[in-house]
A and B are shown apart, each in its own frame.
Chain A
Amino acid sequence: MLEIKNLHVKLEAEDKAILKGVDLVIEPGTVHAIMGPNGSGKSTLSYVLSGRDGYEVTDGSATLEGADILEMEPEERAAAGLFLAFQYPVEIPGVGNMTFLRTAVNAQRKARGQDEMSAADFLKVIREKAKTLHIDADMLKRPVNVGFSGGEKKRNEILQMAMLEPKMCILDETDSGLDVDAMKLVSDGVNALRDAGRSFLVITHYQRLLDHIKPDVVHIMADGRIIKTGGPELALEVEQNGYADLLAEAEAV
Chain B
Amino acid sequence: MARVELKQDATEARIAALTMPSGGKWAMSVRADALARLRAMGLPARRDEYWRYTRPDTLTAQDAPTAALFDGKEPPVFDAVDRLRIVFVDGVFDAAASDDLSMSGVEIDRLETAAQADIHWAKDLYGVLEARGQKPVDRPLAALNSAFASDGVLIRVTGKVAKPISLIYVHKSESSDAILHHVVKLEQGASLTLLENGPAAARFNKVLEVEVADGAQFHHVRAQGRDHERRAATHIFARLGSESLFKSFTLTVNGMLTRNEAVIEMTGDDAVAHIAGAAMGDGAFHHDDTVFVTHDALRCESRQVFKKVLRNGAVGVFQGKILVKEGAQKTDGYQISQSLLLDGDSQFLAKPELEIYADDVACSHGSTSGAIDMDALYYLRSRGVPHKEATDLLVLSFLAEAVEEIEDEGLRDEIVSRLTGWLARRGG
Question: Which chain A residues have a beta carbon within 8 Å of chain B's beta carbons?
Answer: 50-53, 73-75, 77-79, 83-84, 86, 89-95, 100, 103-104, 107-108, 111, 143, 160, 164
Contacts and interface: CB of A to CB of B under 8 A. Distances in A.
A141 to B, nearest CB: 13
Contacts of A107: 383-386, 389
A104 B378 contact: no
B349 interface: no
Interface in B179-236: none
Given A75-B385, A75-B387, A100 B400 contact: no
Contacts of A78: 381-384
Contact of A103 (B374, B376, B385): B385
A104 B400 contact: no
Interface string B370-396: 000111101111111111011001101
Contacts of A74: 378, 381-382
Most central of A75, A91, A143 by chain B CB within 10 Å: A75
Chain B's interface: helix, strand, loop or mixed, by majority? helix
Contact of B384 (A53, A86, A91, A104): A104
B174 interface: no
A88 B326 CA distance: 48
Contact of A108 (B373, B384, B398, B399): B384
A94 B380 contact: no
28 contacts: A51-B382, A52-B382, A74-B378, A75-B385, A75-B386, A78-B382, A79-B384, A83-B382, A84-B382, A86-B379, A90-B375, A90-B379, A92-B394, A93-B397, A94-B397, A94-B398, A94-B400, A94-B401, A95-B400, A100-B380, A103-B385, A104-B380, A104-B385, A107-B383, A107-B384, A107-B386, A107-B389, A164-B384
Given A73-B387, A107-B385, 20 more contacts: A73-B381, A74-B382, A75-B381, A75-B384, A75-B387, A78-B382, A90-B373, A90-B379, A91-B376, A92-B394, A93-B397, A94-B396, A94-B397, A94-B399, A94-B400, A95-B394, A100-B383, A103-B380, A103-B389, A107-B384
A160 B384 contact: no
Contacts of A86: 379, 382
A83 to B, nearest CB: 8
B378 A52 contact: yes
Contacts, number: 81
A94 B399 CA distance: 8
Contacts of B390: 75
Interface residues of B, number: 24
B387 A164 contact: no
A111 B401 contact: no
A79 B401 CA distance: 31
A22 B385 CA distance: 29
Contacts of B383: 78, 100, 104, 107-108, 160, 164
A231 to B, nearest CB: 31
B393 A103 contact: yes
A116 to B, nearest CB: 13
Nearest to A163: B383
A83 B379 CA distance: 11
A93 B400 contact: yes
B355 to A, nearest CB: 30
A111 B381 CA distance: 13
B384 A111 contact: yes
A11 to B, nearest CB: 15
Contacts of A50: 382
Given A103-B389, A103-B393, A107-B389, A92 B376 contact: yes
Contacts of A108: 383-384
A54 to B, nearest CB: 9
The 10 A-B pairs at the shortest CB distance, nearest first, are namely A94-B397, A94-B400, A78-B384, A74-B381, A108-B384, A104-B383, A90-B379, A95-B397, A75-B381, A107-B384
A136 B270 CA distance: 36
A95 B396 contact: yes
Most central of B373, B393, B396, B401 by chain A CB within 10 Å: B393
B240 to A, nearest CB: 29
B251 to A, nearest CB: 16
A92 B396 contact: no
A108 B376 CA distance: 18
Interface in B328-382: 373-376, 378-382
A62 to B, nearest CB: 15
A89 B376 CA distance: 9
Contacts of B399: 94
A236 to B, nearest CB: 32
A98 to B, nearest CB: 13
Nearest to A52: B378
A105 B359 CA distance: 53
A92 B387 CA distance: 16
Nearest to A101: B383
Contacts of A92: 376, 379-380, 394, 397
Contacts of B374: 53
Contacts of A90: 373, 375-376, 378-379
A50 B384 CA distance: 11
A44 B387 CA distance: 22
A143 B400 CA distance: 11
A164 to B, nearest CB: 7
A237 B270 CA distance: 67
